A and B are shown apart, each in its own frame.
Chain A
Amino acid sequence: MLGFLFRRLGDIVPTFFGVTLLVFFLIRLIPGDPILMMAGERGVDAVRYAQLKAQYGFDQPVIVQYFHYLLGVFQGDLGKSFVTKKPVLEEFMTLFPATVELGVIAILFAIVVGLPLGVVAAVRRGGIFDYTTMTISLAGYSMPIFWWATMLIMFFSVSLGWTPVSGRLSVLYYIEPTTGFMLIDTLLSDQKGAFVDALQHLILPSIALGTIPMAVIARMTRSSMLEVLREDYIRVARAKGLSPTKVVIVHALRNALIPVVTVIGLQVSVLVAGAILTETIFSWPGIGKWIVEAVSRRDYPTIQGGILLIAIMIMMVNLFVDLTYSVINPRIRHTR
């Protein structure tokens, strides 16, 4: 088990270099000069331009710039934002909890709704419930997030007025960030109603962000369950006189979970991509919105650092998913 963990950690090293390389060179391929961008509409004279270029190190060859950057990364220094002049890591850490909070609630929504739907659809295959859920999940899967999010806002926030339109918290409340997670911070604070308010702000963005993963999980669970339900040991379990519910939950679901867990792991990267759109639409102060803004300002250190950190996070999630396989399936535990 420990050997397996180290081997997997070893796999991460080349991926890590790949990500730094890709991000560093790709953003330099985008047209637009960060210094001119910073100078704004007034422009900058040639002498000052050369001075700034030297200051940021842009006068050196790109390879040299890359190694400078890499050296910094290994020392834990991701550079400072061109725009805010604050360290990238520090900015990331203040915004990251907002994205994690949204992502966790979204994936929870996806699992809590998608998994049971898939199980019931598989058990009642060919029935009306099966057809309905599979059609809905196909629709959910094909829906563009920006459109779906806008529709949700129009209907639930604007027409019905059930939920707030955007943001993390109403202006009525001011919460000093302690953990950065609004749900926890509001609970810790003594302001009445703040927690419910934060929760209300979370509902629509998590549904918008969680719909695609939910659809994927429901479909995956269904097909995986269908396969497992045909297995001999399911018949054996029924021949023992177990109730149908027990057979499905105890014997079938656990075996069906492996591909589902894989898919959930893969959905985390989908979630990050989706977060960029969702956060922009709901004015959610997370890293998605932050990176989009950094790209439009050619804020190289922010883009590089942000994407690198997200990549590391996704690698960690996938490692975690691999480790959960062995918990679910004893065959994997013993062979590795």
Chain B
Amino acid sequence: MALLEVKNLTVEFGSENNPFRAVDSVSFSVERGEVLGIVGESGSGKSVSSLALMGLIDYPGRVTADSLTFDGEDLLRMPARKRRNITGKDIAMIFQDPMSSLNPCYTVETQIMEALKVHEGGNKKQRRERTLDLLNQVGIPDPKSRMKAYPHQLSGGMSQRIVIAMAIACNPRLLVADEPTTALDVTIQAQIIDLLLKLQSDSDMALILITHDLALVSEAADRIQVMYAGQLFESGPADGLFAAPRHPYTQALLEALPERSEGHDRLRTIPGVVPGAHDRPTGCLLSPRCRYATDKCVSTQPLVEDYYGRDVRCFYPLDDNGQPTGRTV
């Protein structure tokens, strides 16, 4: 049994009659010790689905799912108190902007020890020792003096290391990293990712890496899931997905990478933007932006189907040469 099983997770905002689906029937699973990469443009529902996982969607948002189980326990149908025992301990999360993830009023030490206090107890001395260990583990130089530092005295990279230390404090079995490097300098980005992967492999922790950096997930992730406008478009093992994308959207995303634009005058882009609450197209949500779209794509919505071991939501999945199959023009 997988560590995390998500079946038809849906997150809605707005009125009951005319809801906006930020996440639309997304299913996925994460095995123990696995790295799952979730990619997609801004507004594709990556962050919202991870927040739903953590139970951090507030009213008026509504979270429904056929099942949302962690280690066999149903997260959605357990009492709030019991769920809080799991969040922060077994499932932890790292957010996008490290500079605003730390409370400006408290020292680094206080904020890390707080997580330990809630879930592990122990006395103050033990917690302080563990905090020192954690800071060493995430590569903070001179951790003893950094313990007493306030967040405004830390750089972005340093803050993200603290945030990571805070997240792994209780040895989580699943770590959700929501664009952990977006707000950082390019030079720091690689360091932080290396750190995350090292922590992941050292402790056999599962990692969900949410990003729009394709190059990053291609190296880091075991499996990749491509999301668009709240829907799952394609998922499968990382190497196969990059070698031969089956969904036109994945193909377009890969083509938009600068290193794949060699020999072209301009960088290739995907025209248009992800549809929001008020401009959702009928049929396939990608149809206005898809170069292969037909009348069928505009009128009917495709379902997620298995295509040679990959989950693909498209009427005309691509073959190994990147050409749509089954399409008659």
Contacts and interface: CB of A to CB of B under 8 A. Distances in A.
B153 interface: yes
A241 B100 contact: no
9 contacts: A236-B103, A238-B54, A238-B56, A239-B93, A240-B115, A241-B87, A242-B88, A250-B114, A331-B152
Contact of A242 (B86, B93, B114, B150): B114
Contacts of A231: 100
B222 interface: no
B54 A239 contact: yes
A7 interface: no
Contacts of B84: 241-243
B196 interface: no
B297 interface: no
A334 interface: yes
B152 A334 contact: yes
Contacts of B97: 232
B100 A239 contact: no
A240 B104 contact: no
Nearest to B90: A241
A328 B106 CA distance: 10
A251 B93 CA distance: 18
Given A242-B88, A254-B105, A255-B103, A235 B152 contact: no
Nearest to A232: B100
For A233, A238, A328, the residue with the greatest tally of chain B CB atoms inside 10 Å of its CB is: A233
A199 interface: no
B105 A255 contact: yes
B89 interface: yes
A64 B100 CA distance: 60
B172 to A, nearest CB: 11
Contacts of A238: 54, 56, 87
A61 interface: no
Contact of A237 (B85, B92, B103, B152): B103
Nearest to A127: B59
A329 interface: yes
Contacts, number: 72
Interface in A291-318: none
Interface string A189-223: 00000000000000000000000000000000000
Interface in B104-136: 104-105, 114-115, 118-119
Contact of B88 (A232, A241, A254, A331): A241
Contacts of A255: 103-105
A330 interface: yes
Interface residues of A, number: 21
For A232, A240, A242, the residue with the greatest tally of chain B CB atoms inside 10 Å of its CB is: A240
Contacts of B39: none
Given A236-B166, A241-B115, 19 more contacts: A231-B100, A232-B95, A233-B101, A236-B95, A236-B101, A236-B102, A239-B54, A239-B56, A239-B87, A240-B114, A241-B86, A241-B89, A242-B114, A243-B81, A251-B103, A329-B104, A330-B150, A331-B104, A334-B153
B208 interface: no
B254 interface: no
B186 to A, nearest CB: 22
Interface string A234-260: 011111111100000011001100000
A334 B95 contact: no
Given A231-B100, A330-B150, A331-B152, A241 B118 contact: yes
A239 B92 contact: yes
A254 B95 CA distance: 22
Contact of B85 (A233, A241, A331): A241
A7 B9 CA distance: 59
Nearest to A328: B105
Contacts of A251: 103
Contact of B118 (A235, A242, A334): A242
Nearest to B81: A243
Given A233-B103, A251-B103, A239 B150 contact: no
Contact of B150 (A235, A240, A331): A331
B312 interface: no
A251 B115 CA distance: 13
A248 B85 CA distance: 18
Given A239-B88, A240-B88, A241-B86, A330 B114 contact: no
A331 B105 CA distance: 8
Nearest to A231: B100
Interface string A244-281: 00000011001100000000000000000000000000
Nearest to B98: A232
Nearest to B87: A241
B163 interface: yes
For A243, A251, A255, A330, the residue with the greatest tally of chain B CB atoms inside 10 Å of its CB is: A330
Nearest to B59: A126
Contacts of B54: 238-239
For A237, A239, A328, A331, the residue with the greatest tally of chain B CB atoms inside 10 Å of its CB is: A239
B81 to A, nearest CB: 8
B118 A330 contact: no
B290 to A, nearest CB: 35
Nearest to A242: B118
Nearest to A331: B152
B15 to A, nearest CB: 14
A240 B153 contact: no
A254 B103 CA distance: 10
Nearest to B115: A240
Contacts of B104: 233, 255, 329-331
